[in-house]
Amino acid sequence: MSVTVTIRGPRAILQDLLIQLVSLRGTVANQPDASALDAAIKRLSRLTTNPSWSGDLRLRLKSGTVVLNQAHAAAVRLSGLLKNKKHSTDSNSLQSFIDRIVSAEQLVALTAIDDAARLGGDARLIARAKAALAAGDARAATNPSRAMVFYEKAWKTAKAAVI
């Protein structure tokens, strides 16, 4: 018996999420929910089609921050909707969307750290990137927005390690 395992990169994860958000948006009539979902969809659409991607896993150094900022903004909009006590969208779905955005950003940072180590980058900067990644991981479940700030820092630091 053989098993095939498919590993999805962060871009593919975000593209799938975008499709699901668009589908969900079609079922939402509540205007505040619709506005928040529209904003998240707009940001995810921009970031998944952004030329800053180098394949499915990596972001280019000079423009990758734009993608990470769009991901963060999408997560913030969904978090704001989740915190709104009057929202009509399923809370578990919203949390799942937020978690997947955070996971995608974590994977971008982790890939950059792995690349820096593989390419013999500055060990001191790689250690800093790993520390930022760990700080993000420690906050991911309780403060996704703050976790994403640390993941962006980890990505930038790892990229700097090989410049």
Domain boundaries, the chain: 10-160
Q: Which residue has the tokens 């820092």?
A: 153
Q: Which residue has the tokens 């921050």?
A: 65
Mean pLDDT of the 76-80 span? 95
Confidence of residue 125 (pLDDT cuts 50, 70, 90): very high
Condensed to tens digits (0 to 9), the pLDDT of residues 16-36 reads 999 999 999 999 988 899 999
φ, ψ at 44 (rounded to 5°)? -65, -35
- Mean pLDDT over all residues of the chain? 94
Per the CB < 8 A criterion, the answer to whether 46 and 38 are in contact is no
Confidence of residue 142 (pLDDT cuts 50, 70, 90): very high
Residue spans of beta strands (DSSP E) within 3-148: 53-54, 58-59
